[in-house]
Amino acid sequence: MKKERLARIKELVLEYDITTQDKLVEILNKDGYNVTQATVSRDIKKLGLVKSFEGGVNKYVLKKHSDTSDHSLILKNTILTVKSAQNLVIIKCKAGMANAVCVYIDALDLHGLVGTLAGDDTIFIAASDSISAEQIRENIVDRIG
């Protein structure tokens, strides 16, 4: 049943603009899969789905692992400011885009990055020290131009 559910989720994100986990839960339950938001959240992670702004909609898409130009594009189109404060880097994004940007930042595997935390429009990056935080800030600023 899990394999079929995962396959159905892939079909749904390719066919429709799935903008929230709740919408995905609703569709899957209508299709006969008895799922909760927690189950769908784990499925999204397993499938490597990420939020992407495409066609004027912030929706789930299949992650493209090898295309680093996608990283730069999402960073350029969504990041508003990047600041550092001691061992933290604080990034302000367009509303609803912090999670998508955070996924891409995590994929960059930046030196000194200890962890990331995303809200709706803000990302906190914990660096190992203030020098690493400034290097991470500069790296991200360079990527967004």
Confidence of residue 61 (pLDDT cuts 50, 70, 90): confident
Q: What is the pLDDT of residue 70?
A: 54
**Dihedrals φ, ψ of 110, to 5°?**
-75, 140
Confidence of residue 64 (pLDDT cuts 50, 70, 90): low
3-state SS, residue 99:
helix
Show me where the domains of the chain are located. Answer: 2-62, 68-144
Q: Could you read off the pLDDT of 67-122 as tens digits, one per residue?
A: 445 556 778 889 999 999 999 999 999 999 998 888 888 877 788 999 999 999 99
pTM of the entire structure? Answer: 0.54
2-62 fold: Arc Repressor Mutant, subunit A (1.10.10)
CATH match of 68-144 with 3.30.1360.40? yes
Strand order in the sheet with 88-93: 79-85, 88-93, 122-127, 113-118
Kindly give the residue spans of alpha helices, DSSP state H, lying in 31-84.
37-47, 68-78
- Size of the chain in residues: 145
Region 28-50: mean pLDDT is 91
d(CA 101, CA 117): 11
